[in-house]
Amino acid sequence: MPAHRLSPEQAPGHSIDRSRTLTYSLNGKELSGFAGDTLTSATLAATGSSACGPSMYENRPRGIYSSGAEEPNALVHLEARHPGYSQESMVTASTLELYQGLKARWLSGLGTLDPAGDQAEYDRKFVHYDIAIIGAGPAGLAAARQAASSGARTILIDEQPQPGGWLLSSRKLTIDGHSGPAWAAQTITELSEKPDFLYLPRTVAFGSYDSNYILAAQNRTDHLETAPAPGISRIRIWHIRAKEVILATGAHERPLVFANNDRPGIMLASAVQTYLNRYALAVGKKIAIATISEAGYDLAADLLDAGISVAALIDSRPEPGPRAAELKEAGIPVFTGSAVCDTSGNPDNTALSSVTVSALDPQGNLTGSPQTIEADTLALAGGYSPVTHLHSQRQGKLTWDPNLPGFVPASPVSHQQVAGIMAGASNLAEALQQGHEAGAAAARATDHSPSLAAPVSDQDSPAPASAPRPLWLIPSPSGNWDTHFVDLQRDQSVADMLRSLGAGMRSPEHVKRYTSISTAQDQGKTSGVNALGVIAEQLGLSGPEELAPTTYRAPYTPVAFAALAGRRRGQLFEPVRVTNIHPWHLEAGAVFEDVGQWKRPRYYPQAGEDMDAAVLRECAAVRSSVGFQDASTLGKIEIRGKDSGEFLNRIYTNGFAQLAVGKGRYGLMCKADGMLFDDGVTLRIAEDRFLMTTTTSGAAKVLDWLEEWHQTEWPQLDVVFTSVTEQWNTIAVAGPASRDVIAKVAPDLDVSKEAFPFMAFRETTLANGIPARICRVSFSGELAFEVNVENFYGRATWELIAEAGAEFNITPYGTETMHVLRAEKGLIIIGQDTDGTVTPQDAGMEWAVSKLKDFVGKRSFSRQDTSRQDRKQLVGLLPVDGSTRLLEGAQLVAATTPISPEEAPVPMEGHVTSSYLSAELGRPFALALVKKGRQRLGEIIRVRHGSGFVDAEITSSVFVDPEGSRRDG
């Protein structure tokens, strides 16, 4: 047994299994520990040294400082645990459970990513509970016992591998006749027998959001010594929605700020106690204790009981604690009204050798002659900071509790309870009582009957104690502040804070950003409140209570991006979406392009054709006879409710409230700044029901847009939205012969111009018995129809149309042909012919902007910038040489503008938005945004092309059938 590991008679070792030895490697050295150890407890026991990696910026020797998530120093790079796992960096060694074959090396605060990536399994789970309890310490367990006994669905979450919280670090506390750890284990056993109770150990609740939405990361395999079976997730992210939440998250102990307070061998008193009682480990042979409260005496009693030498107890309080006499009788020096003001180390500064103690006057200044005390460990009990992170993430306010002293919730967040030290509990009895009451209150709030569980109580009456005397800044004997470290992980000292204050910073938020205090991996768990204390002292304030803590943000502890992503990576991150007509496109030899997440046929090349040849053939077919396209990917949103017409009237620039049932209308949407956002045709299915179509890539953002305006601005409107993009297949049939094809496909439908006008739709049954909705809409300028059927019938309908159109040589066409056809008619594609700075007026679409109603973006049209006369406007471009295809995105300059490099910069007149070859025109053409474009028709402008320029004529944006006579056949 290593020399620093204690026998069962000396220390209980609540968390270790002495019968199972595990071997591991640290910095290339083979070591061993027990099952249940953490990497830090095993290493302290095996080496007798707390030294870890040096500090991040100053390369100062540092040591293991804590035993939990608040650890600022002991970070490691972890080799891959099992095949398929990645290497991990910046792992907190004090929370890393030891496993067989672990390989790690100390870091200095800067890690490295594994270039191979992480192929391990991750997953997520969504659950609803009546009551969620965070923390399985005594208060959390008492709350869970009460809540679960009421019949409420209860979930208990705790970051430790076993229940009990700080009971695991205690030596003599008893509850209901059992030791604290035994009571905790028995309570979990009893609760786990209840059908609606779930206990999640090794799970960190790292984020708290509106409506009691909790995110928690569960380590499911870290404790396994062999690789988990394939498909078993390593980390599971729990998404938890609860009616009531109880926060029993405990507290982190604070250090003290004095000269050279960062040496290896200096450690939080709670960590010394934890390593002693949980892991049967003596972190030193001669331990000095600096305290501001009774916490230091608790540690001293445990150390003496284990036979470990206490070098001295240094108490900041002028009056000795009630147990000081016992320590003095045992020969231990007790310094009251005193503090550690400096330390010394061994020659290479990898271990502590002595501490310097000085008396304090009432104002906290050093007085008298300092004394040197030999010690290899210094335990700091500087007070407790309740873990209020989840409370603060919900915008919960904090207040200063002088009895603690520390920040606690000023009042609970709605539908949340707090218990334990967060609620001001100063001893075990109070924590148990508060947990019991919080559990009962949560049960009542979820309409469950009063619990039958009786309150639990401890059998140890707390001794009376004098109030703590917090020390925020212990003066330096030398007057130098460079080694008074406030944030160990960021290497930030009091000197750094003084520089920030000297620069005029006063707000803790500003000091935090100036110095980077509390911004490292540990999120300021040991530095945040001390930083407030230092600021307060320097500004002459009474203490941290006059300052607000900096904002706590999720995550509470680091969470791997891979875990947050889960299985949403590769194709699962952005899955390939295809219509059920996709197999036909493959058989036809289609070349696809990605639009949003959809695979859309771009063109259908025949033997020997390149894209240009195929597209020219497809365009000619549509203009001269008939073509058909799979348009199923268009976004489709069903809108229901008695106010749906009014809602659309406010969202679209043109009117929809009076649209007749059975008709459709093309609509434009603007953002609040008046710029074009999306467009599409919307059908009125019934008085209270519409079907909106959107661009393929804009479907999700439009649905979000509708929900945002409904939920935040017009919640009084009776309207709901449902995405039905995947529920409908849409097939566009376009061209002069399209009416003949539709007549064969839908024999019961009168498709004449008079009976079936433009922008009307009809419900019918196709020739093969498939129910369909057919619309008279066109995105090509030609006579066109859109056939909509339920998704299941998509391919059958496509093949029916192909068969009906065979006599007309019907031609499938892709997105590239669609682009050419619509551009010849001057029809825009939002996102291609617009760039977020284009209004409907700029695009020549004033006809779609109502002057009679209000709508999103209307007020912005009166802005000086939006209404100025020199804005870019959509126009057409024809290359003067009749053969050059302009490049999309090419910059335009005036024909008279000098273009030699010596005369740069050259004023830009606009840019090309779309450019194609036209079968109809027999030449290239383009669309462009040009300053004052519609006032410059006929003007020649220069277009950047390769290393030179070509001339182009500014024309109308409508190149084909400007009268619109083809639309109705």
3 state SS for 80-129: CCCCCCCCEEEEEHHHCECCCCEEEEECCCCCCCCCCCCCCCEEEEEEEE
Tell which residue, 83, 92, 81, has the closest CA to residue 39: 92
pLDDT value of position 532: 97
Lowest mean pLDDT among 457-461, 666-670, 671-675: 457-461
Give dist(CA 102, CA 100) in Å, integer: 6
Q: How many of the other CB atoms lie within 10 Å of CB of 348?
A: 8
| Per-residue pLDDT, 839 | 96
Q: How many residues does the chain have?
A: 969
Report residue 451's pLDDT band, with 50, 70 and 90 as the boundaries: low
Q: Which residues pair with 628 in a beta bridge?
A: 733, 812
Residue 332 has pLDDT above 60, yes or no: yes
Give the mean pLDDT of the chain. Answer: 94
Task: Tell me the per-residue pLDDT of 222-253, one tens digit each, with 9 for 90 and over.
Answer: 677 677 777 778 899 999 999 999 999 999 99
Task: Report the C-alpha gap between 268 and 255 in whole angstroms.
Answer: 6
Beta-strand pair 664-670/676-686? antiparallel
Higher pLDDT, residue 503 or 904 = 503
Contact call for residues 605 and 591 (beta carbons, < 8 A):
yes
Over residues 130-146, mean pLDDT:
97
CA 201, CA 214: separation in Å to the nearest integer?
A: 16
pLDDT higher than threshold 70 for residue 903: no
Residue 97's CB is within 10 A of a number of other CB atoms, namely: 19
Is a pLDDT exceeding 50 seen at residue 686? yes
On the question of a cis peptide bond just before residue 72, with omega within 30 degrees of 0, the verdict is no
The CA distance from 67 to 838, in Å, is 58
The three-state secondary structure class of 643 is: coil
Q: What CA–CA distances, in Å, run from 84 to 118, 737, 947?
A: 7, 59, 50
Q: How confident is the model over 466-472, as a mean pLDDT?
A: 90
pLDDT digits (tens, 9 = 90+) for 354-377: 999 999 999 999 999 999 999 999
Is the CB of residue 668 less than 8 Å from the CB of residue 679?
A: yes
Asked if residue 458 has pLDDT above 80, the reply is no
**Alpha-carbon distance 801 to 745, whole Å?**
6
Token representation of residue 895: 């024909």
pLDDT confidence bin for 1, thresholds 50/70/90: very low
Peptide bond before residue 747 is cis, with ω within 30 degrees of 0:
no
CA distance 101 to 195: 38
First to last CA, the chain: 95
Instruction: Compute the distance between CA of residue 512 and CA of residue 532 in angstroms, rounded to an integer.
Output: 10
Whether the per-residue pLDDT at 751 is higher than 70: the answer is yes
Does the pLDDT of residue 901 top 70, yes or no?
no
Q: Does residue 503 carry a pLDDT above 50? A: yes
CA dist., res. 578 & res. 598, Å (int): 6
DSSP calls for 362-404: TTS-EEEEEEEEE-SEEEEE--EEE--HHHHHTT--EEEETTT
Q: How far apart are CA 899 and CA 224, in angstroms?
A: 70
Q: What is the pLDDT of residue 116?
A: 78
Q: Averaged over 101-128, what is the pLDDT? A: 87
Query: Residue 748: helix, strand or coil by DSSP?
Result: coil
CA distance 733 to 784: 6
For residue 650, the model assigns a pLDDT of: 97
Whole-Å CA distances, 564 to 207, 218, 235, 570: 12, 11, 9, 14
Segment 68-94 mean pLDDT = 91
**Cis preceding-peptide flag for 715 (omega within 30 of 0):** no
Question: Crossing angle for the helix pair 528-538 and 494-502, nearest 10 degrees?
Answer: 50
pLDDT digits (tens, 9 = 90+) for 543-581: 999 998 988 999 999 998 889 988 887 777 778 899 999
How far, in Å, CA of 540 to CA of 527, rounded?
20
Find the range with the poorest average confidence among 270-274, 318-322, 399-403.
Answer: 318-322
Asked if pLDDT for residue 113 goes beyond 50, the answer is: yes
* Mean pLDDT, range 837-848, rounded to an integer: 96
464 pLDDT band, cuts 50/70/90, is low
For residue 378, what are the contacts with CB-CB under 8 A and spacing of at least 6? 265, 266, 267, 287, 288, 289, 290, 340, 343, 352, 355
How many C-beta atoms surround the C-beta of residue 365 within 10 A?
Answer: 11
